[in-house]
């Protein structure tokens, strides 16, 4: 059962299951991910050995290939903690605690706020520089924005509402 769940997790990057199965799957899959990650740093013999160990546990050629190519590249710089368990609540049929287990680096929602590594660029020194012109342009834009914000907003009461009330009072006075 754990082998099938691990293959599904590698293929789909997240699965829904019970909390107990998710915890057991986490203990089953994390050492395999560590072995897949270690293949890049070791010799060909160790890499083949790690693939054979993963295939012994998973029994699915596609899952092993995906694990050693896509998943291993994505988690290469992570020291551990490759999976995340999120509790979802209880299942309707039997009230079992449900959870979603997912591979951490494949969730774009949680990783969107995390800054990516910056690549450094070096600029030429002594080349053409427009640094002196740029601040003047920014200062004029800032002054225009400040001038627009400084203008007070005056709220006026709509005149259309006040006129009918006066007309109604006049009509009431004329009837008496």
**pLDDT tens-digit series, residues 73-103:** 999 999 999 999 999 999 999 999 999 999 9
Cα 94 from Cα 131, distance rounded (Å) = 68
Q: What is the reported pTM?
A: 0.62
Domain 2-111 in CATH 3.90.1030.10 = yes
CA 116, chain centre distance (Å): 12
Please report which confidence band the pLDDT of residue 140 belongs to, taking 50, 70 and 90 as the band edges: very low
CA 162, chain centre distance (Å): 54
Residues contacting 61, CB < 8 A, separation 6+: 55
Q: For the chain, what are the domain ranges?
A: 2-111
Token duo for residue 122: 């070096």
């Amino acid at each position: 059962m754990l082998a099938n769940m691990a293959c599904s997790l590698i293929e789909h990057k997240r699965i829904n299951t019970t909390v107990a199965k998710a915890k057991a799957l986490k203990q089953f899959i994390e050492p395999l991910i560590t072995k897949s990650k270690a293949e890049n740093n070791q010799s060909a013999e160790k890499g083949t050995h790690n693939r054979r160990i993963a295939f012994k546990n998973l029994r699915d050629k596609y899952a092993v290939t995906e694990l050693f190519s896509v998943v291993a590249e994505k988690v290469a710089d992570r020291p551990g903690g490759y999976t995340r368990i999120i509790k979802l609540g209880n299942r309707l049929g039997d009230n079992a605690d449900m959870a979603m287990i997912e591979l951490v680096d494949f969730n774009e929602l949680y990783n969107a706020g995390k800054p990516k590594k910056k690549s450094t660029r070096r600029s030429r020194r002594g080349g053409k520089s427009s640094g002196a012109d740029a601040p003047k342009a920014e200062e004029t834009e800032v002054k225009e924005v400040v001038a627009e914000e400084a203008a007070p907003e005056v709220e006026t009461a709509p005149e259309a509402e006040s006129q009918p009330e006066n007309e109604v009072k006049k009509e009431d006075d004329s009837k008496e």
